[in-house]
Amino acid sequence: MPRFLIRTFLCALAVFLGAGLAAQQTEVVLSATSSAKLVLAMTSPKVSGLDEATVGTEFTAVLRRDLDETGVIAMLQERLPADGAPTKAWREAGAQWLLSTKLTRAANGDLQLEATALDTAAEKGVFTRTYNANKIVPVRYLAHYLADDLVGRLTGEKGVASSRIVFVRQVSPGVKEIFQVDRDGAGLIPLTRHGSLTLSPTVAGDGRLAYVTYKGGAPEIWGQRRKDGPHEKLYPAGGGGGLVSSPAWSPDGKRLAFVQGDRRGNSDIMVLDLATGRARRLTDGNGINTEPSWNPAGTQLAFTSDREGGPQVFLMQDDGSNLRKLTTEGLYNASPSWSPNGAMVAYVSRFEGKFDLFIYKLGEGKAYQITTGVSTSESPAWSPDERRLVFTSNRFGPSQLFTTDLSGRQILRMSELGGCQSPRWLRGR
C-alpha cells in the first residue's frame, strides 16, 4: 500500500533514419486525442541474411504487439489476402494502410530495415523510411522504432514502443535495487547494485537517475549530477539530514523535490537546488506531507497530505503558496502523478482495503476511476504520450508491472517479474 513517510543505461544503437518522403509525411491523419483507429495490414517481411523464424518472433510479432497497444492502430487479423495480392484486395479486406517491410543483414552484421506504407483507398504511399543499425542492435528494436514512427505519422506524436520503465524490485530479503526494462518487458538491466534498500527512483528529462538508498545506514538521496555521470550522494551534504524519501526531479532537471521527516513522525515537502546544495521547506506543520509530483511547467507540485485527517491529494505552487485540496471523494487518496501535458493527475484511492487507479481531469474538476477492485493497483506513472499508465498490481501474485489505457479496458501485464514497485516511464532511446 502507499506509504507515508543511472546509472543511465545507454545502448550503442547507432540507428540512423534514412530520407523518407518528406512531402508525404507532413499530413497528420489522426489527432492525438482521436478515438478512431486506423486499420493497418502487414505483408510478410522480405528477408535477406537473417533467419526467417527469428524475424517472425523478434520483428513481426513484436511489431504487431507494439501497434496493437498504441490505441490508435488496429491490426487487420482476418481475411488476409496473399502477400502479392493487389491493393484492391487489401482494401476490400478492410485495410486502410498496407505496410511492407524488408530486413537485410549485411556481411559485416549491420542491419537495414526498409518500410513503406500505402493508403489503400488512394493507392499512394503515405510513409517511407529506412533504418540502419549496427550489428549489436537487437532486431526487435527496429520493430519498436518503426511502430513509434508509424504512430507519429498518424497522430503527429511519436509512439512509446521504444520507451523504458525504471522500477524497484526486491532481489533478496531486505535488499531492493533499481532496474530498467524495455516497454515490452524485455531487456531487464540492473541500474544499482548497493546491496541494501534502494527505493523511489526518479528520472530527469535527460535520463539522470536519483533515488533513496540505505547503503550507508540512514536513508540518503543519491543520483547523477550530470548526464552519464557517476552515482553520488546528493542530499544531505553532511550527516544528520533526517529521514528522506520520495525524490522527484523538476522538469528542468535543476531541482529535486523530496520528503524530509522528523523523529515525531511528521514529514514535509522540500526542494533541493542542485547547483547550490540548498534545500528549502515548502510545507510546515504537524502531520505527513509526502509523494511530491511536479507539473510539466515546474511551477506546481501535487502531493499527499493527511493535514485534514485521512490522506488526500493537494496542490501548491513551487514556493509552497496557493495550497489547495484536489481530491474530495474517498477517505484515502494518495500517490499523485501529474500528466505530461499538465491536464490530469493520476492517483490511487483505497476502498475496502484495496487500491484502485483514478485520474483527475483538472479542466473538468472531476475524477474518473480506471481500475476496479479485483486486486490492488498502485504507483501510477504516465507514459510519455499520455495514452497509458504503468502501475503495479498483485492480481497475479506478488506485485508485478502492468499498463492500462485511460479507459481501463486494456490492462496488460508487462512482465512476470514479482516484487516490483515504484515504476517510472522514460522516453524512448
Non-local (6+) Cβ contacts of 74 within 8 A are: 37, 38, 39, 40, 68
**Which own/partner contact pairs does 263-271 have at CB distance under 8 Å and 24+ positions apart?**
267/4, 267/5, 267/243, 269/301, 269/303, 269/320, 271/318
What sign results for the dihedral spanned by CA atoms 56, 58, 60, 62? positive
Q: Architecture of 164-426 per CATH? A: 6 Propeller (2.120)
Amino acid 374: pLDDT? 78
Q: Sheet holding 164-172: strands in order across? A: 189-190, 175-182, 164-172, 420-426
Q: Is the pLDDT of residue 19 over 80?
A: no
Q: Is the pLDDT of residue 242 over 90?
A: no
Q: Is the pLDDT of residue 276 over 60?
A: yes
Q: Is the pLDDT of residue 265 over 90?
A: no
Amino acid 1: pLDDT? 44
pLDDT bracket for residue 253 (50, 70, 90): very high
Q: Are 152 and 158 in contact (CB under 8 A)?
A: yes
Which sequence spans correspond to the domains of the chain? 16-155, 164-426
Amino acid 16: pLDDT? 36
**Which own/partner contact pairs does 261-269 have at CB distance under 8 Å and 24+ positions apart?**
261/5, 267/4, 267/5, 267/243, 269/301, 269/303, 269/320
Bridge partners for 199 per DSSP: 212
> Which superfamily does CATH assign the domain made up of 16-155 to?
TolB, N-terminal domain (3.40.50.10070)
Q: Is the pLDDT of residue 255 over 80?
A: yes
Q: For 31-58, how does the pLDDT look when each residue is reduced to its tens digit (9 = 90+)?
A: 334 457 999 999 999 999 999 999 999 9
Non-local (6+) Cβ contacts of 419 within 8 A are: 169, 170, 171, 176, 398, 399
Q: For 371-427, how does the pLDDT look when each residue is reduced to its tens digit (9 = 90+)?
A: 997 799 999 999 999 999 999 999 998 999 999 999 999 999 999 999 999 999 998
Amino acid 110: pLDDT? 96
Q: For 139-162, how does the pLDDT look when each residue is reduced to its tens digit (9 = 90+)?
A: 999 999 999 999 999 999 999 999
Amino acid 240: pLDDT? 62
Q: For 66-120, how does the pLDDT look when each residue is reduced to its tens digit (9 = 90+)?
A: 999 998 999 999 889 999 999 999 999 999 999 999 999 999 999 999 999 999 9
